[in-house]
Amino acid sequence: MMRIYGFYRIALIAGVLLASLGVCAIFAQNSPPPFELTISIVNRMGDVSDRRIFKVGDDIGIRIDLASVSDHAFLLTSSSPDCDYYVVVLKADGEPAPDTERGHEVRQMLRKNESCYGRHGAGILQPYAKAPGGDLISVNKLNDLSRPGEYTIQVERRFPRDFGAGIVKSNIINVTVTE
């Protein structure tokens, strides 16, 4: 008889633990992203620019600023900006701009969860702090913008599993490429 009560006690404890984990998982899925992304066009020196019209072949550079909107510090890992962020470039018809060879290579690495080359590091981002520096990406190195037209640029980044694992999207920038 004592064995049966021991079994029920273990089953009860296991049930409580599983229920607790389930509640934590649901809470994590509904948690807001821990950071926000803001992108800006930059000139060759890395300074923010109001320029929105480019000629075919001009470099279109963006700076990505990441700022915590969480009241908790969290670990922020980084490798190469090309791999930390997914650059989404759409043509006026809503179709994605074609990838360059580098863009295709990076997207394949991201799909396979492979590590990119570049700086590898991690740091703690404090509550409501801005990540230092801002990352620079040349959009032309990842996307073929050799055809004149209107394009939209947006950046995405995954956020930590501690916050439910999801994707944060930046603001959208409209640019025009001319002959």
pLDDT digits (tens, 9 = 90+) for 26-66: 444 557 888 899 999 999 888 999 999 999 999 999 999 99
pTM, entire model: 0.77
Sign of the torsion angle spanned by Cα atoms 65, 66, 69, 72? negative
Q: How far apart are CA 178 and CA 53, in angstroms?
A: 7
* Across 63-81, average pLDDT: 87
